[in-house]
Amino acid sequence: MNIRNHLFYTPDRCSFGNSWRKGLRYLALGSLFLIALYGRVGFAAEGEFDGSDYSFEYSKDDVDKVMQLTPNLDNGKKIYVICAVCHEPEGWGREDGYYPQIAGQLRVVQIKQLIDIGMGNRDNPTMFPFALREVLPTAQDIVDVSAYIEDLPMSPANGLGPGTELALGERIYRENCVDCHGENGEGVEEKHGPLIQGQHYEYLVRQFEWIRDGKRRNADPEMVKQIKGFSDHDIRAQMDYVSRMRPPAGKIAPLGWQNPDFPKYWRSEHSQ
């Protein structure tokens, strides 16, 4: 059952009226009601893989298989309206790190995270209702919205750290992180290593601490072992440095840019 047909809305037709917060609550409650009623559905694809069926049991091969699907950006744009409620129309999240920047993130990373959250392999109560099959019923939907987000230009002004121990942060990064996240935090697709350049400092710190402390259950086991002994001081120095890694100029939006897929009247209605 696809609750998106009942609860989904688009920038040109908002079924939640003037309150996007109320809409978010309705969507979450509707998702959770259907989970309770029908249970969480998961089934493996059989025969030729076309994106209509998929298994939530994550493996690297599964994600690589999903990556072979051709994205439909028009469908991704429609789905993204759900994401924009928290991540903003531009996908930039909040500078205080409460919501991460997702614009520009590697498609393969988004696919893995959506599957993991939907399966409960990553604890994220806010995201959980929106990553379920009742909202994203096919692998094609996951690919479409991930591709749309990957194409969004990144924020020209992400949240930064204090800038006090950048030399220490750089040394820690160079010694530990380049293999999976790249020389400039651009991510490593073949390893499913996330893009972390341009990310908000406070979000980076929070996620790194959760990985170190075992709260991010879908984290790379090798990374968990590698950073086990990192102090809070080490983490903040390193994430301060990472937050200042600039994406290439072609990936950054101009100052004042607004996503043209979201009309001004949509923004004014959903800012209440």
Tell me: do 17 and 116 sit in the same domain. Answer: yes
Residue 117 lies in a domain: yes
Residue 109: what are its φ and ψ, rounded to 5°? -70, -45
Please list, in sequence order, all residues whose beta carbon lies within 8 angstroms of the beta carbon of residue 212, skipping any fewer than 6 positions away.
224, 227, 228, 230, 235
Residue 253 lies in a domain: no
Tell me: do 88 and 186 sit in the same domain. Answer: no
Give how far the C-alpha of residue 183 lies from the chain's centroid of Cα atoms, to the nearest Å. Answer: 21
What integer pLDDT is reported at residue 83 of this predicted model?
A: 93
**Do residues 76 and 148 touch, judged by C-beta distance below 8 A?**
yes
Q: How many domains does the chain have?
A: 2
The total number of residues written for the chain in this structure:
272
Q: Rounded CA gap, 101 and 166, in Å?
A: 22
pLDDT band at 258 (very low <50, low <70, confident <90, very high): very high
Tell me: do 176 and 204 sit in the same domain. Answer: yes
Q: pLDDT by residue (tens digit) across 32-47?
A: 444 444 444 333 333 3
Domain of residue 79, residue span = 4-154
Q: Is the pLDDT of residue 18 over 80?
A: no
What integer pLDDT is reported at residue 116 of this predicted model?
A: 87
Could you tell me the pTM of the whole model?
0.81
Tell me: do 19 and 122 sit in the same domain. Answer: yes
Name the DSSP class of 13.
Answer: B
Name the DSSP class of 193.
Answer: B
| CATH at residue 224 | 1.10.760.10
Question: How large is the angle between the packed helices 20-38 and 73-87, nearest 10 degrees?
Answer: 110
Tokens, residue 258? 């607004």
Domain boundary among 102, 121, 154: 154
With 0-12 / 13-18 / 19 or more C-beta atoms within 10 angstroms meaning exposed / middle / buried, residue 57 is exposed
Q: pLDDT by residue (tens digit) across 215-245?
A: 888 888 899 999 999 999 999 999 999 999 9
Residue 189 lies in a domain: yes
Ramachandran bin of 185, using left for φ above 0, alpha for ψ from -120 to 50, beta for the remaining angles: left
Tell me: do 10 and 136 sit in the same domain. Answer: yes
Tell me: do 38 and 123 sit in the same domain. Answer: yes
Q: Is the pLDDT of residue 88 over 90?
A: yes
Please list, in sequence order, all residues whose beta carbon lies within 8 angstroms of the beta carbon of residue 183, skipping any fewer than 6 positions away.
none
Tell me: do 147 and 17 sit in the same domain. Answer: yes
Q: pLDDT by residue (tens digit) across 176-218?
A: 999 999 999 999 999 999 999 999 999 999 999 999 998 888 8
Residue 267 lies in a domain: no
